[in-house]
A and B are shown apart, each in its own frame.
Chain A
Amino acid sequence: MNQQPTTNQENKTPIVEVKDLVTHYGTRKILNNVSLKIQQGEIMVIMGGSGSGKSTLLRHLLGLHKPTSGMIRLLGNDITQLNSKQMHELRQHMGVAFQGGALFGSMTVGENVMLPLREHTKLDEQTMQIMTRLKLELVNLAGFEDLMPSELSGGMIKRAALARAVVMDPKLLFFDEPSAGLDPVAAVELDELILQLRSALNMSIVVVTHELDSAFKIADRITVLDQGEILMSDTVEAVRSSDNQRIQSLLNRMPRDHAVDTDEYMRRLTGYN
Chain B
Amino acid sequence: MDKTPASSFSTIIRQRVERFGKLSVRAIEETGYMFRLLYETFEWLILGSKRKQPVRFKSIFQESMYIGIQAIPIISILVFSIGVMLAIQGIETLKPFGAESQVVLGIAISVTREFSPLIVGILVAGRSGSAIAARIGTMLEAQEIDALRVIGIHPVRYLVAPIIIAMMICLPSLVILGDIMGLLGGAIFTNIQLSLPISVYFDRTFEILTINDVMQGLIKSLFFGMIISLVGLANGFQVEGGAEGVGKATTRSVVMAISLIVIADMIFTYFMNR
A interface vs B, CB < 8 Å? 62-64, 84-85, 88-89, 91-92, 94, 96, 98-100, 102-105, 115-116, 119-120, 164, 174
Contact = CB atoms under 8 A, between A and B. Distances in A.
B158 to A, nearest CB: 8
Interface in B119-159: 138-139, 142-144, 146-147, 149-154
Given A85-B51, A102-B142, A96 B150 contact: yes
Closest 10 CB pairs of A and B: A102-B147, A91-B152, A102-B143, A96-B150, A98-B143, A88-B152, A116-B151, A102-B144, A92-B152, A62-B150
A96 B149 CA distance: 10
A123 B133 CA distance: 34
B22 to A, nearest CB: 15
13 contacts: A84-B154, A91-B150, A91-B152, A100-B142, A102-B144, A103-B147, A104-B144, A105-B142, A116-B151, A119-B152, A119-B153, A120-B152, A174-B150
A89 B150 CA distance: 10
B53 interface: yes
A104 B147 CA distance: 9
Contact of B151 (A63, A84, A91, A100): A91
Given A98-B146, A102-B146, 6 more contacts: A89-B152, A98-B147, A100-B142, A100-B143, A105-B144, A115-B151
A88 B152 CA distance: 5
A89 B144 CA distance: 20
Contacts of A84: 154
Contacts, number: 53
B152 A99 contact: no
A64 B144 contact: no
Interface residues of B, number: 15
B149 A64 contact: yes
User: Most A CB atoms within 10 A — which of B146, B147, B149?
Assistant: B147
A119 B151 contact: yes
A64 B145 CA distance: 11
Nearest to B153: A119
Contacts of B149: 62-64, 91
B143 A88 contact: no
Contacts of A103: 144, 147
Contact of A96 (B139, B144, B147, B153): B147
B29 to A, nearest CB: 16
Given A85-B51, A119-B53, A64 B146 contact: yes
B61 to A, nearest CB: 14
B273 to A, nearest CB: 43
Contact of A64 (B51, B139, B150, B151): B150
Contacts of B53: 119
A103 B146 CA distance: 11
Nearest to A97: B147
A102 B143 CA distance: 5
A181 to B, nearest CB: 14
Contacts of B153: 115, 119
Interface string B32-69: 00000000000000000001010000000000000000
Contacts of A164: 151
B56 to A, nearest CB: 9
Nearest to B145: A102
A85 B51 CA distance: 9
A197 to B, nearest CB: 17
Count chain A CB atoms within 10 A of each CB in B51, B139, B149, B151 and give the residue with the most: B151
A139 to B, nearest CB: 17
Contacts of A99: 143
A88 B139 CA distance: 20
A104 B143 CA distance: 9
A60 B78 CA distance: 51
